[in-house]
Amino acid sequence: MIPLIITEFFFIFFIIIIIMIIIVIILIIIITTIIIIIITTNIITTITNIIFVIIVIIINSGYEYVSCYEKTGQNACA
């Protein structure tokens, strides 16, 4: 009877350890996916910011060209 109780205890302990390992693995997967999502969104926002800045620079240079031409009547910006 005593060995049966010991083996049951070890069996329950083993099941608890397996459940804890599974929970830890799930938590690690969730944390890594959250970190990957944060990194990719940061990369995407920086790329869109760079594209936006380039577009604004192109638009501003075009406006400067037009304003220079309107002020002097000739291409003074070139």
CA distance 49 to 45: 6
Non-local (6+) Cβ contacts of 13 within 8 A are none
pTM: 0.50
* Tens of each residue's pLDDT in the chain, 78 residues: 566 677 788 888 899 999 999 999 999 999 999 999 999 999 999 999 999 998 888 877 666 555 555 555 555 555
Q: Are 26 and 18 contacting, i.e. CB atoms less than 8 angstroms apart?
A: no
Non-local (6+) Cβ contacts of 75 within 8 A are 65, 68, 69
Task: Tokens for 23, please give them.
Answer: 């929970």
